[in-house]
Structure 1
């Protein structure tokens, strides 16, 4: 187990970036064979906007990577956090760390992005996509992503976790982000069964429905337990899903400059 974690701790940058593009490619290919929604759109033009936003995300990751190293050096010397308070097997500490990261850095911050008006304005860029596919997982306004990364570091500090735990979580998070946004159709019974444990493609698609109450549901990224526990879980008929936002003009959902300005557009009446 220790050697397994050391692998993630020493993983080179090129391999981390390679993992992102590998997962994107796999689900991009699967979308061609197992579609959930059959809509006609230029997939490459659509992806261009989302990939430009991915570049911003990766640049922000570099900055936060420097901050992360400083935080982990401090944690190693201070023994701050919950994990140093008790002696448990590494696998249990890893599991608890991933659960706390999933709760704070995914579910909780995502909930706030929907409920706090100024945060929701930033998050509308993600929801303005009217053709949800694997590349939508990369579609975050830079300020939206900074908020998410800040909450991830808060979770790290609370737990006092080693850097290997955090890096393993990041690898898992990439997988689930692209898996849940991919335009793929699992057998309905399989998807529903899996949704009792993890967030599935069908489950997350309800979150991308264009209007309430589905828009404010299914906030989780990895584990579905948080949505079930806090009463935000929804599972219905996927044929009723319509992507996008009822407050946004979707003629510009593939215009990168428009998307970067969208949170600051005073002509949009935000309903939060």
Structure 2
């Protein structure tokens, strides 16, 4: 069964959707920055639910049907984390498996540190250690603390056919979203027709794409947590594409080294993107191992 609904969370309205039975262990999907829940493929969610999970996806504030704010509205990555926590509260979920992409992975790490009793496991996809603040994280190994090398993220250029993107114009915004997905993807990225259908859905469900992108960029990741990653105790899986140019190979290696007993699984031919269908079998096998 699939349901979509609006719920009050932290003084705003959040749109969320569930897949599967409430009696199964809950799994919360956290999208990337300025990303609505649409970027979690419907069929991927159904396959997660078929694996015995009560799957929850939601629109971050300023994305999809959730509350939208004017450009420049101040909030932080901590507020975005608290929204995720509020989604669990709204559904009466005491603890969940967290699956986060990019910014969603950073929020999942913060949740595991700030509210460890609410987290059953972590799956961190196409993300980086902590918050990208430039401070080397500390890996606890017995009684010895080891500083892990810090690496910068890389800004991936967006190729568009028509210069500047007018995010208020449907045609321009859809073209921009498609161009971004293609620039950051790889050979398994859905074709242009599929991406266009997804981009149209994202645009049609969004109140103000431009404002959301500005506000999420300004929000950032929140206060530094890299030095605390060694405190995470839940089972952690790091999934990373071999063609991810935003967070090259050093990022997942650093993240897996910083979190005790974390597993790193490479997704060959995948870029900075939610897992495409070509690697779903590998992803699901790793998640349910």
Give the shorter-chain TM-score range: under 0.3
Q: TM-score, normalised by structure 1?
A: 0.25
Q: TM-score, normalised by structure 2?
A: 0.24
Greater helix proportion: 1
